[in-house]
């Protein structure tokens, strides 16, 4: 990635026409060829940009441009349209290149795998005296997130979602129907656990005898201690 801080003006021509007058801005040239023009405000959104596929040529200014104080010209042309971005640079304050490598992508906190691990580690969240049998208990139609036993020794299938919707209830219902045919497990009850549960999903679950539990992710992580709250 190339980072350039420069006093520049920017013109965009193509499906629309836009002009940015002379000012100090951050110019980003990414490895995929995209060029972005940022100011020191406006949050993350660039003032203007050219998305790939595109090509950039850095050329000398013509006589008229040089007379206006331009020291370099960037011409960015989109490969599949007539769109083009022209940057007239008057002064370069910073110019550097950095190899960032392959990005692993965004890992979201609170995804179902994290919730499953945390709930398994704190299975008592579902009730005093509960015990974990195993995570990812395999059935003929797929794995149940958690198989546990309640304080009376009854088997409980726990399905975990970030957002509890009707599809999740239907999924747990299919697991329960299958597991209750196994004499070594039956009777098996169900718990539908999620950070948020839609009203329709709660109604369907409770109608089928499935208990609904709203998970507090921070509490499971040990960040939020409900007993220590003043309010």
- The tens digit of pLDDT for each residue in 57-73 reads 999 999 999 999 999 99
**Rounded distance between C-alpha atoms, residue 96 and residue 104, angstroms:** 23
70 and 118 housed in the same domain: no
The residue among 91, 87, 67 whose CA lies nearest residue 9 is 87
**Rounded distance between C-alpha atoms, residue 200 and residue 187, angstroms:** 26
- b or e along 84-103 (b: 16 or more beta carbons within 10 Å of the residue's beta carbon)? ebebbbbeeeeeeeeeeeee
What pTM value is reported for the model?
0.52
Q: In this prediction, what percent of the chain has a pLDDT beyond 90?
A: 73
**Rounded distance between C-alpha atoms, residue 155 and residue 133, angstroms:** 9
Chain centroid, CA 200 distance in Å: 26
Taking only the tens place, the pLDDT of each residue in 145-173 is: 999 999 999 999 999 998 999 999 999 99
- In the prediction, which pLDDT does 220 show? 81
Taking only the tens place, the pLDDT of each residue in 98-127 is: 998 887 765 544 577 888 899 999 999 999
Place of tokens 């193509």: 14
**Rounded distance between C-alpha atoms, residue 203 and residue 24, angstroms:** 57
Is 81 in a helix, a strand, or coil?
coil
Task: Give the residue numbers spanning the domain of 161.
Answer: 112-228
Quick one: the chain helix, strand, coil %, rounded to 5? 20, 45, 35
126 and 223 housed in the same domain: yes
The residue among 37, 19, 39, 20 whose CA lies nearest residue 28 is 37
The residue among 197, 178, 194 whose CA lies nearest residue 186 is 178
Q: Are strands 211-214 and 18-29 parallel, antiparallel or unpaired?
A: unpaired
Residue 84 has pLDDT above 70, yes or no: yes
193 and 88 housed in the same domain: no
215 and 131 housed in the same domain: yes
Q: Tell me: cis bond preceding 191? Omega within 30 of 0 counts.
A: no
Question: Does the residue 35 lie in any domain?
Answer: yes
CATH number, domain at 11? 2.70.180.20
Question: Does the residue 103 lie in any domain?
Answer: no
CATH number, domain at 153? 3.40.1350.10
Q: Tell me: cis bond preceding 53? Omega within 30 of 0 counts.
A: yes
């Amino acid at each position: 990635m190339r980072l350039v801080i420069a006093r520049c003006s920017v013109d965009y021509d193509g499906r629309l026409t836009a002009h940015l007058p002379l000012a100090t801005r951050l110019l980003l040239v990414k490895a995929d060829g995209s060029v972005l023009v940022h100011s020191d405000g406006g949050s993350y959104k660039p003032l203007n940009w050219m998305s790939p596929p595109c090509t950039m040529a850095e050329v000398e200014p013509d006589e008229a441009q040089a007379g206006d104080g331009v020291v370099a010209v960037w011409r960015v042309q989109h490969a599949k349209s007539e769109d083009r971005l022209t940057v007239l640079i008057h002064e370069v304050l910073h110019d550097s290149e950095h190899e960032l490598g392959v990005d692993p992508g965004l890992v979201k906190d609170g995804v179902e795998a994290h919730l499953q691990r945390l709930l398994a580690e704190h299975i008592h969240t579902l009730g005093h005296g509960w015990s974990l049998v195993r995570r990812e208990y395999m059935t003929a139609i797929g794995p149940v997130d958690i198989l546990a036993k309640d304080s009376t020794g009854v088997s409980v299938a726990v399905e975990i979602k970030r957002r509890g919707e009707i599809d999740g209830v239907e999924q747990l219902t299919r697991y329960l129907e299958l597991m209750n045919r196994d004499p070594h497990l039956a009777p098996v009850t169900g718990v539908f656990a999620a950070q948020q549960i839609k009203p329709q999903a709660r109604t369907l679950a409770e109608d089928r005898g499935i208990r609904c539990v709203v998970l507090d992710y921070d509490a499971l992580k040990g960040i939020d201690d409900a007993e220590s709250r003043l309010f």
